[in-house]
Structure 1
Amino acid sequence: LNRLFRIAAKKEFKYLEKNLPHLNKMTLYYASIGNRESLLDNLLYLVSAEVFLDKERVIRKRTDFNAALESGKSRLVSVANDIAKLIFNILHKYHCIISNLNKPEYQSFEDVTEEIESQLYHLVYAGFLEEIALADLRHYPRYLNAISRRLEKLSLSPAKDRILAEKIAPFWNFYLDSVESGAWDGINDKPLQQYKRMLEEYRVSLFAQELGTAISVSPVKLNKQIEIIRSGNPVFTGKFNA
């Protein structure tokens, strides 16, 4: 359905392809993940989904489709600009963190840099713009800022970082094992995605509490979510704030 809207609004999307803000810089920051073409396609997918595929709107027939098309066209440019600004911000922060990890002062903290690299690998990857909802992407700058704050504090108190890292480690390992086992698909998809969000919020609370969290997360709540994932019961034990 997303593709159909993009075909129906071909003229408008052609304009966006040529005028999307920050595309050249985003392409540079995205280079280690994918090419310009895939990035642009993912961005336009995200724009189309936000403009035309309203969750409250049910499209069952052509008249529904046409109504959504016409009402959405007027919002395309403003929404595209907003999304481009957000994704540019995300990719820029991602790029800066990757660059910082390669600095000499962090070479002696191999455990930390490997953990952060693993975190980044599961945050920003090829196709993440199509897989992650826009509402969740809006939290990404804070997650990435938390990583930067962690690195800033690392050399001042490596022992404290080690203690905090030990708190997140078993929960992160459960997530990695779940993804590797294929639990990201099927009935456990949504509970595992929700668990992933909780993990990122927990990281913020541990390493950069001053940034604030969208939800209160604790080991008890994470363990409850693990039980939900294992049971295959798609129920979320919390509410994320915008």
Structure 2
Amino acid sequence: GAERVAAAPVEQTGLTAWTFGDLPAVIDTKVAGGVVRGYPAIVDAGKSVSVRVEATPDAAAAATRDGVLRLVLLAVPSPSSYVQQHLTSQEKLALAASPYPSAAALIEDCRAAVARRVIDASTGADGQDRGVVRTEAEFARVRDAVSAVLVDELFACVSLVARILTKAREVERGIKSQNSLALLGPLNDIRTQLSGLLHPGFVAAAGVDRLAHFPRYLDGMIDRLKTLANEPGKDRARMTEFERMAVLFADAGGTIPLAPDAPPAIVEVRWLLEEYRVSVFAQRLGTAQPVSPQRITKALAGK
């Protein structure tokens, strides 16, 4: 309402560049009978950003991470069409069959994921929030860091995603080739696991670093499919073992795919569960970190 606007002269909308000077971490506004403290944030509005005052520092930091990412993506020319032209025909084929509406949308999501990784790596060194930028000079530094590596890192990310999608096809073929009713349970479990990993927006949701583990997760499914028909009893026992942990995760409020605002402990356990699947169903592949029911239970207790 009118009070809100009067209280926060810094608020602006429709910005496509850093034209608002340095952003204070806190704004105190005198109102009748006291002072109201607000926390300015840069807010992602899709094709632009807004500057808005939030009620808590956490809300301001969370919004600003996305706002800064959007401003960087607006400031750095997109090499997407260049990347698309230089893909191998096999990569083009893989990207055409993705959960995204188009290959262009998928590459754009890769661009966001790559930019996010570079922004996170370039900020947060002095105890500030990772991904949060408040000064124009700092923004210029971060934007240049993204610009310097974007083409190379985007190529690497897109070809990794093509590899992931090619393996996913292999998993789907493996599921289709088993037509025994007795295997319906495990086949549905593998299907659920696959759609939990590969959904629209999965690249930016997982992030570039986590994405590097996806080929191993898919290899785990392929391994499991190979042993399934010969040892259905063994698979059932392993599935019971895994489901115990999945239930704990769900009881703690965890979902797959993750909710955008999932707390850090839930995010950690979501990926621990993926590693736990590998250790239960495809041990020969190894895990990225030690994983056990104890470790999962402990991580959930810490949330």
Residue 65 of structure 1: how far off its partner (Å): 2.0
Among candidates 149, 164, 189, match of residue 115 of structure 1? 189
- 1:1-242 → structure 2 map (5 Å cutoff): 1-10=68-77, 12-16=79-83, 18-19=85-86, 24-30=92-98, 33-36=99-102, 37-56=104-123, 59-105=133-179, 107-176=181-250, 178-179=253-254, 184=259, 186=261, 189-228=263-302, 233=303
CA-to-aligned-CA distance 1:128-167 (integer Å, 9 cap, x gap): 1121122111111111111110111112211111111110
**Secondary structure in structure 1 of the residue aligned to 2:222:** helix
Computing the radius of gyration from Cα coordinates, the structure with the larger value is 2
Residue 111 of structure 1: how far off its partner (Å): 0.4
Residue 45 of structure 1: how far off its partner (Å): 1.1
Residue 12 of structure 1: how far off its partner (Å): 4.0
For structure 2, the residue ranges without an aligned partner over 5 or more in a row are 1-67, 125-131
Structure with the larger strand share: 2
Q: Which AA in structure 1 matches 2:93? A: K
Q: Which AA in structure 1 matches 2:140? A: N
Cα separation, 2, equivalents of 1:14 and 1:6: 15
* RCO comparison, higher one (Cα < 8 Å, 6+): 1
Q: Is the 8 A contact 1:47 1:83 kept in 2?
A: yes
For structure 1, the residue ranges without an aligned partner over 5 or more in a row are 234-242
Aligned residue pairs total 226
Cα separation, 2, equivalents of 1:139 and 1:100: 20
Q: Which AA in structure 1 matches 2:101? A: N
**Secondary structure in structure 1 of the residue aligned to 2:200:** coil
Residue 112 of structure 1: how far off its partner (Å): 0.4
CA-to-aligned-CA distance 1:176-196 (integer Å, 9 cap, x gap): 45346999465x521111111
Q: Which AA in structure 1 matches 2:97? A: Y
Residue 114 of structure 1: how far off its partner (Å): 0.8
Cα separation, 2, equivalents of 1:150 and 1:96: 12
Q: Is the 8 A contact 1:2 1:53 kept in 2?
A: no
RMSD between superposed Cα atoms in Å = 2.7
Residue 226 of structure 1: how far off its partner (Å): 2.9
Distance 1:29-1:79 versus aligned 2 partners, 3 A rule: same
CA-to-aligned-CA distance 1:89-117 (integer Å, 9 cap, x gap): 11111122122211144554100011111
Distance 1:143-1:104 versus aligned 2 partners, 3 A rule: closer
Distance 1:182-1:34 versus aligned 2 partners, 3 A rule: closer
Q: Which AA in structure 1 matches 2:112? A: Y
Distance 1:99-1:121 versus aligned 2 partners, 3 A rule: same
Q: Is the 8 A contact 1:59 1:65 kept in 2?
A: yes
Q: Is the 8 A contact 1:143 1:204 kept in 2?
A: yes
Structure with the larger helix share: 1
Residue 18 of structure 1: how far off its partner (Å): 4.2
